[in-house]
A and B are shown apart, each in its own frame.
Chain A
Amino acid sequence: MSSARVGVVTFPGTLDDQDAARAVRHAGGEAVPLWHADPDLKGVDAVFLPGGFSYGDYLRCGAISRFAPLMEELIPAAKAGLPVLGTCNGFQILCEAHLLPGALMRNAGLHYICRDQGIRVENTATPWTSDFTEGQEIVLPVKHGEGRYVADEATLSALEAGGQVVFRYVGGNPNGSLNDIAGIRNEAGNIVGLMPHPEHAVEDLTGAPSTDGRGFFSSILKNLVNA
């Protein structure tokens, strides 16, 4: 069985790319580095857009990255069904690229916040969450200054009605997100974005006091191998 190849994108200012690649490897996959300036997806089976401060968050989080040469390849591939996961800045980039609806705004508390956060998995019909059970409560770290999810009322209703809210904060909303939304998916389900960081919760020794992030990586690898 050849291992699935998951692309991990590095923009200037991306920070969690090393963590994302490590999490892919720990789960048994092959992490393939993808460079923002290189319009080549290198034939990967899925793509992980990690967190960080791409382009220093200048202008608006993710607003410059969406124009990277790599994104010209990634956007049509994602629309055609390539599994894509964006965490934190990756989620912001997916929203800026209009691959996911809505936007991420400054936290309600106006401070950057780093904490271990309770999250409920609301939807398992994605290649990134199929190993979880619906309603399962997990702990993942959040660490962001601009993670307050907002969308207009019609979009929110559509997301809720269509099962597109994938994750919701429990035990306290860290940033004032509407409907306690921590992560969403597109209609097809192949594109998922969330503010929390599964890649920081995969090992006993390091990171958050939880290994709940493993579910993301076991999910995608199973789905790719079985595809």
Chain B
Amino acid sequence: MSLDTVKRAENTPDERQPYAELGMKIDEYERVRQILGRRPTGSELAIYSVMWSEHCSYKSSKVHLRQFGTKAPKSEALLVGMGENAGVVDIGDGWAATFKIESHNHPSYVEPHQGAATGVGGIVRDIMSMGARPIAVMDALRFGAADAHDTRRVLPGVVEGISHYGNCLGLPNIGGEVVFDPCYIGNPLVNALCVGLLRKDQIKLAVAPGPGNKVVLFGALTGPDGIGGASVLASATFEDESQAKRPSVQVGDPFMEKLLIECCLELYQADVVVGIQDLGAAGVSCATTELAAKGTGGMDVKLDLVPLRDPSLRPEEILMSESQERMMAVVTPDDIDAFMAICAKWDIPATVIGEVTDGGRLVMTWHGEVIVDIPPGTAADEGPVYERPFHEPAGQTALNDDGPGRLARPADLRATLLELLGSPNLASKEWVTSQYDRYVRGNTVLAQPADAGVLRISEAMPGAEETTRGIALATDGNGRYTRLDPYAGAQLALSEAYRNVAVTGATPLAVTNCLNFGSPEDPEVMWQFSEAVRGLADACKTLGVPVTGGNVSFYNQTGSVPIHPTPVVGVLGVIDDVALRVRTGFTGEGDRIVLLGETEEEFGGSEWAHVAHGHLGGLPPVARLESERDLALVLTEAASRGLLTGSHDLSDGGLAIALAEACIAQGVGCEVSLTGDDAFVDLFSESSARALVTVAPESFDAFAQLCAARDVPCYGLGTTGGDSLKVEGVLEIPVTELRKTHTSTLPGIFG
């Protein structure tokens, strides 16, 4: 195969090019020709096809995502917003936190272990590239029915991949979710979140300024990994040809990534990095075009200098390779020796492959011949933008009309509680989380099954202030709610994550999201997407928490059947004194148990309807955003005054499950009375904006005053103590029986 140079492209304008095979539409290909004034070379076509793929360009979602900017609430905490590798938030005392969640759904279905592992690796490098030390990870996972045959292939593989990669990297896994629903059987969701810390004055950006500065590729060697993975795997649905795509999943090396983390931190400390970018989807194509586009506009790259694991790779393949554990830095000529010495200390291969220019062109050569000559912005920022048509799904009204009112209510509430508590979605996830290291680095204050993960910050970085602060993180998302009402469903996902952060005593500050949907070419899916984004943007505005970044994952469907629309929302909060964090559940005997918030009869999309009747219909609970905000204010103020001895949010399964989990947490029982006139509604309704807290008897009045001042409804339910969950006149279950029911389900299925 002869080299397709720019000169050759000029001389062979009519040569047929495989744009369609690379996932490009004819009009997109024509636009490339127009931009260049000639046909693209093979290498240029590789660059444009990956950069303009749905995964990299957000071409179908962009017009909707803009609302996260236009509706963004005023936030003094936001240091870096959307559009960078990850958002950065001011957390006080000179410290900043950066966090982001990203999907690795399709690769995790094809090869669960490596797909999930490289999902963790990718998000960790995003955080590193902001100049931060990654300090924790968490994962939001969705699988088909727990007892389905293929779930037994996918789930253990995914968990092992996350476990092996994250543990080997030395990052504590502090939370996340595992949810089962038949809609995910052919399309599991693996959303990985990473959070990092940095000094406020230390933020790094993906820019390549300064003509004459060197472009360094460092980390793992480049091999034939995931070639076309970004455009093919992330943007195509699973049909029968997926078997043929198997080799395009990347393979991760967490050991290399660990070295890369330590190496990068030493490079930042030595201040020898001008700009930095991780190599993720679209590899060298993405890193060079994005760095160049945001710099002084140009870059010369000698592509033949890229160190290869497989010397037979063609330039097009090098450009598209998604080999893991690679980074690209821009370094001044004066600093290059110091940069290389630090890489050598950590045994990290590093190679100067090019130079920043002010020519406004990205020019790549292969053994002296020009194979790429493009304006980098056209690939990085000026990709196609689509206003996809959308309309409400045909069956939406019928679905909403089929409410849970017609479902038979249970007579035996004790049996119902146990049935729900042992159902796969509500059962203990210890089988999963015990495979993750939650202790490494020694700063884990709370981790799963706590409502939110909480980390201490104090370990001083060189040059940083001592601080008593901590951060809290939670992710949530409910596909059933979102199926019933995408606008409300997205708001409820945010509400729950926001509440989970607040119950630990932290003040919610900022949002990241991973929007998992079916095909954007399906107008009904596009309607779900547009409604969800609109709902989330509106809710962020009301709650005063800006979206700092995230990821859209489309084409989550098998054949023409999409998954439930599943926006997963991550919220980061800050707590001024982490020693005052509130632990999850009942932590001692003799405390007063208080229910905060109002309970309405809301069973649409509920766990009860799902487990007891396999029913999905009606409308989800109302999203009560103002109430959520007031509830959070009460929780954080009460925590800061040391009034709370324990807490737990109310969500799936309602008060019954919250009480049961609170008892199981430390093996402390309780005796409570219900306040409404329908015990079933009191126990199992899923009304939002509610939480359970415990207070010492002597603090009760002060706490009740605080609730009154904020207009947060506050009901004393009873006291903690004893060895059973006792609901006056309704049920009594020993804590040992609760625990056994809660913890037996997943081991029973997965061994």
Contacts and interface: CB of A to CB of B under 8 A. Distances in A.
Interface of A: 12-13, 15-16, 18-19, 22, 52-53, 55-58, 111-115, 141, 143, 145, 197, 199-200, 203, 205-208
Interface stretch (B22-30, B75-83, B432-440, B643-651): B432-440
B167 A53 contact: yes
Interface of B: 160, 163-164, 167-168, 170, 253-256, 258-259, 346-347, 433-445, 456, 459, 578-579
Given A58-B255, A112-B167, A205 B579 contact: yes
12 contacts: A13-B168, A13-B258, A19-B441, A53-B254, A56-B254, A58-B255, A112-B435, A113-B434, A143-B167, A199-B442, A205-B456, A206-B456
A22 B442 contact: yes
A53 B456 contact: no
A143 B442 contact: no
A16 B440 contact: yes
A207 B255 contact: no
Contacts of B579: 205
B63 to A, nearest CB: 44
A156 to B, nearest CB: 28
Contact of B255 (A13, A18, A208): A13
A111 B441 contact: no
A92 B163 CA distance: 20
Contact of A113 (B164, B435, B442): B435
Given A18-B441, A200-B439, A114 B259 contact: no
B259 A143 contact: no
A85 to B, nearest CB: 17
Contacts of A114: 433-439
A206 B434 contact: no
B168 A115 contact: no
B434 A115 contact: yes
A205 B437 CA distance: 17
Contact of B445 (A52, A113, A206): A206
Q: Which 8 pairs show the lowest CB-CB distances between chains A and B?
A: A56-B255, A15-B170, A19-B442, A200-B439, A53-B168, A143-B437, A112-B435, A112-B163
Contacts of B256: 56
A211 B605 CA distance: 44
A55 B346 CA distance: 12
B442 A18 contact: yes
Contacts of B346: 12
A19 B440 contact: yes
A92 B327 CA distance: 32
Contact of B444 (A57, A113, A197, A206): A206
B170 to A, nearest CB: 3
Contacts of A145: 164, 167
Given A113-B434, A114-B435, A200-B439, A205 B255 contact: no
Given A53-B255, A111-B434, 8 more contacts: A12-B347, A13-B258, A19-B441, A114-B438, A200-B440, A205-B579, A206-B443, A206-B456
Nearest to A17: B170
A115 B433 CA distance: 10
Contact of B578 (A57, A112, A205, A208): A205
Contacts of A112: 163-164, 167, 435-437
A184 B257 CA distance: 33
A52 B436 contact: no
Nearest to B262: A12
B432 to A, nearest CB: 10
A53 B434 contact: no
Contacts of A56: 168, 253-256, 258
Nearest to B459: A18
Given A13-B258, A112-B167, A207 B435 contact: no
B253 to A, nearest CB: 7
Contacts of A143: 167, 437, 439-440
Nearest to A21: B442
Contacts of A207: 439, 442, 444
A115 B437 CA distance: 9
B435 A57 contact: no
Contacts of B347: 12
Contacts of A16: 170, 440, 442
B472 to A, nearest CB: 14
A197 B167 contact: no
Nearest to A209: B666
Contacts of B442: 16, 18-19, 22, 199-200, 203, 206-207
Given A12-B346, A112-B163, A114-B434, A141 B439 contact: yes
A29 B579 CA distance: 24
Contacts of A58: 255
A26 B545 CA distance: 38
Contacts of B440: 15-16, 19, 143, 200
Contacts of B443: 206
Nearest to B750: A111
A22 B440 CA distance: 12
Contact of A53 (B258, B435, B438): B258
A12 B262 CA distance: 9
Nearest to A109: B751
A112 B440 CA distance: 14
Contacts of A113: 434-435
Contacts of A199: 442
B343 to A, nearest CB: 13
A58 B441 CA distance: 22
